[in-house]
Amino acid sequence: MTPDQLTGVIPPLVTPVDPAGAVDRDALARLVAFLLDAGVSGLFVGGSTGEVALLDSAARRAVVEVAVATAGGQVPVLAGAVDTGTRRVIEQSRAAVALGADAVVVTAPFYVAPNDTEIVAHYRAVAAAVDAPVIAYDIPSAVGARLTPPVIAELADAKLVVALKDSSGDLAGLRETLRLVRPGFPVLTGSELIADVSVALGAAGIVPGLGNVDPHGYVRLYRAAASGDADTARTEQDRLARLFTIISVADRARIGFTAAALGSFKAALALRGVIGHPGTLPPLSPLTPSETAAIAEILADAGLSLA
């Protein structure tokens, strides 16, 4: 896989499940087809939006199998290998590659609070053990450890990773990373809200969770931003920012942020007829009918069709 393939919009797919909590393979295939029809450049399964921390081994295998089979080589499939320690990440990475994943997306280890030296050693071990490209994933809100710009530059220079997914939310840090990494090293933003600015700064692509709900909008935004049409990109970004308010609909006194955000994405996809069941995995609580109705209103206001 070449750096040129890590550009554009690469949504981190939700993991559709049936009422019993098993991966809904048919719904996932429909979601992949929906995204491909919108013109996305890649698919990222088993990420934070895909409830990676809640998937068992069978579910991890299922999402890779369905994405690879449905994509049929049209775009690369990236698979999350996210866990607490290096051995577990290597095991997950090898399993994903054996199922056809084109690359693995790897965070720093969490729970153990590694320092920068240990983080670099982690990526060195994964890169040596896995016969596929490794993409670094910086999401300190979930992992607790930051991939700092100097660490990312070190990983890039040593060719231990082929790209970065930056979900830090730190625009200044993104700018510094882009300044430090070697030319041609793709940096992808995970932000729904500063995607236009990130691409204007030099980000190679966008990995937005909201891209499940409105992939066409993010493809329009990316193409405008990448071509230098800042006005069109800003207009699209403003519309998507309003759409992103679906994550704030749920009563946060009743459920947590993750349940509210991922539940809103799945509710929106169910309302659009892409998936059948909007449920999340335990311990995440479901949205209420009134919350789902409020999401439907926001979708309509954003000009999105409902089933």
- Return d(Cα 106, Cα 128) in angstroms, integer: 14
How confident is the model at residue 3, as a pLDDT?
Answer: 79
- Report yes or no: 205 and 176 within 8 Å, Cβ to Cβ: no
Q: Which of 165, 218, 222, 266 is catalytic?
A: 165
Active site residue 159: no
pLDDT tens by residue, 220-248: 999 999 999 999 999 999 999 999 999 99
Q: How confident is the model at residue 2 (pLDDT cuts 50, 70, 90)?
A: confident
Residues contacting residue 2 through CB under 8 Å, at least 6 positions apart:
none
Active site residue 266: no
Q: Which of 123, 137, 218, 222 is catalytic?
A: 137
Residue 23 pLDDT greater than 90, yes or no = yes
Say what the pTM is. Answer: 0.97
- Report yes or no: 269 and 248 within 8 Å, Cβ to Cβ: no
- Report yes or no: 145 and 114 within 8 Å, Cβ to Cβ: yes
Residue 250 pLDDT greater than 80, yes or no = yes
Helices (H), the chain: 25-38, 57-71, 86-98, 116-129, 140-143, 149-157, 171-180, 195-201, 215-226, 230-243, 257-271, 289-301
Residue 46 pLDDT greater than 80, yes or no = yes
Residue 171 pLDDT greater than 90, yes or no = yes
How confident is the model at residue 4, as a pLDDT?
Answer: 84
Structure tokens at 223: 């193409």
Structure tokens at 106: 């790897």
How confident is the model at residue 37, as a pLDDT?
Answer: 98
Structure tokens at 283: 């311990």
Neighbours of 141 (CB within 10 A): 11
Structure tokens at 178: 């882009």
Mean pLDDT of the 72-89 span: 97
Query: In the chain, what percentage of residues exceed pLDDT 70?
Result: 100
pLDDT tens by residue, 91-129: 999 999 999 999 999 999 999 999 999 999 999 999 999
- Return d(Cα 188, Cα 128) in angstroms, integer: 23
Q: Identity (one letter) of the amino acid at 289? A: P
- Ordered by where they begin, the domains of the chain are 3-228 (3.20.20.70)
* HSE toward the beta carbon, residue 201, CA cutoff 13 A: 21
Q: 254, 233, 248, 251: which is closest to 298 by C-alpha?
A: 248
